[in-house]
Amino acid sequence: MAYDYDIICIGMGPAGMAVAAMAASMGLKVCGIERHKIGGECMNVGCIPSKSLLKMAQRRHTAARLLEQIEGSEAILAALPSPFERVRKHVDFIGENKTMGMFDKVDLVVGQGAARFTGRRQVTVGERTISGRRIFICTGTRPMLPPISGLAEADPLTNESMFSLNAVPPSLVVLGGGAIAVEMAQAFARLGSAVSIIIRGERLMRRVVAKEATDVLEQCLESEGITIRRNTEVNCVETDPEGGHRLHLSNDEVISSSRILVALGREFNLQGLGLEEAAVRYDAKGGIVVDRYLRTSNKAILAVGDINGFAQFSHAAMHQGMIALMNCMLPWPMRRDYRRFVVPWTMFTQPQVSHVGPSEEQLRERRIKFGSSAESVGQIR
């Protein structure tokens, strides 16, 4: 059977970009489909803008420390321009220059709507229907909004909307204790917001980071004026006519904030894909089901990046894309089992927190026996 393309990529974030660019460089006929902007979550509302904002927050924090003994320093800091316009310019620059020439040999379908399967190897986008020998699903995830009464009416920020701000809010409540929540809590605090973090557990990053590391991080955050409310949930949110918000907490406390940032996890972008038409199995909680070679239940279709729930990091998505494509090209004995790769990651707070492999909490959940020890870096010689 003749196909319109050798490779079709649905979603052109880090995973899709890696697959499309690599496949095109191998001389394959490639189509890349993106309903929004090339670069996906990472480039437009994730890694790139967040690290840009963190850098500017770090510089303002350093300036504040240098100026703290100078009379009138508060006025100097208040006169600094808003960081968000610069973040947006940085994102535009990266988008225009980073990908220049990368997809010259890729047939891009951008901004023409979402793709959906209309057959086992057939995809429809807009009014166009195409077929592919191999189809890669790289649609990623989106922020999850919990069903808290009054939260939606409070126009909460997420990573998809916070970089559209024009000014730093006077106060910010952050819901969640993961990497996005903690990085942005420190950034906004250093930019001048009064920040509170609300977490359901007893400490930040409980499942994935050792207690010794989070203890140090929490001490640093609190020393910068960030309040951490542990073992607490939000029961409901009330919004004032003036735009302020009151959060009623599970410990009967009521706190006020000008804005709310929700960073309570992600949900998979599965809606509208028509996976049933392609005989692709999926789980709303776990993403698209894949085997060790990142193939779905339809072996002509692969799911790479956040959408398979394996390791939700941009660098992991790119690596998955390259491995999955090579597995399509190589004979069986040379194919790589992606489950054997260990993914390192870093949270870009100050101090930074890096991690590799399963945490103690995850090992306990898997009932794997282990030993542990902790050493201060200052004691290592």
178 and 322, same domain (yes or no): no
| pLDDT-derived band at 138, boundaries 50, 70, 90 | very high
9 and 104, same domain (yes or no): yes
Summarize pLDDT for 102-121 with one digit per residue, the tens: 899 999 999 888 999 999 99
Q: What are phi and psi of 27, to 5 degrees?
A: 90, 10
Summarize pLDDT for 322-356 with one digit per residue, the tens: 999 999 998 888 999 998 889 999 999 999 999 99
The dihedral region occupied by 302, where left means phi > 0, alpha psi between -120 and 50, and beta the remainder, is beta
Q: Is residue 320 part of a domain?
A: yes
155 and 207, same domain (yes or no): yes
Q: Is residue 72 part of a domain?
A: no
User: What is the pTM assigned to this prediction?
Assistant: 0.92
Count how many domains the chain has. 2
Q: Given 243, 265, 287, which residue is the final one in a domain?
A: 265
- pLDDT at 313 > cutoff 90: yes
Q: Given 265, 282, 306, which residue is the final one in a domain?
A: 265
Q: Is residue 162 part of a domain?
A: yes
216 and 293, same domain (yes or no): no
236 and 251, same domain (yes or no): yes
136 and 15, same domain (yes or no): yes
Summarize pLDDT for 262-285 with one digit per residue, the tens: 999 999 999 999 999 999 999 988
Helix axes 314-329, 14-25, angle to 10 degrees: 40
CATH of the domain at 261: 3.50.50.60
Q: Is residue 204 part of a domain?
A: yes
Q: Is residue 299 part of a domain?
A: yes
Q: Print the domain residue range for 251.
A: 145-265
Q: Is residue 18 part of a domain?
A: yes
Lowest average pLDDT, out of 92-101, 154-163, 299-308, goes to 92-101
303 and 194, same domain (yes or no): no
Q: Is residue 53 part of a domain?
A: no
If you average pLDDT over residues 14-33, what whole number do you get? 97
Q: Is residue 103 part of a domain?
A: yes
Q: Given 210, 243, 265, which residue is the final one in a domain?
A: 265
123 and 13, same domain (yes or no): yes
127 and 174, same domain (yes or no): no
9 and 137, same domain (yes or no): yes
281 and 136, same domain (yes or no): yes
138 and 254, same domain (yes or no): no
pLDDT at 187: 98
* Rounded CA separation 40/35 (Å): 9
| 313-336 exposure pattern, b = at least 16 Cβ within 10 A, e = fewer | bbebbbbbbbbbbebbeeeeeebb
Summarize pLDDT for 170-228 with one digit per residue, the tens: 999 999 999 999 999 999 999 999 999 999 999 999 888 888 999 999 999 999 999 99
Provide the mean pLDDT of the chain: 93
* Rounded CA separation 369/14 (Å): 35
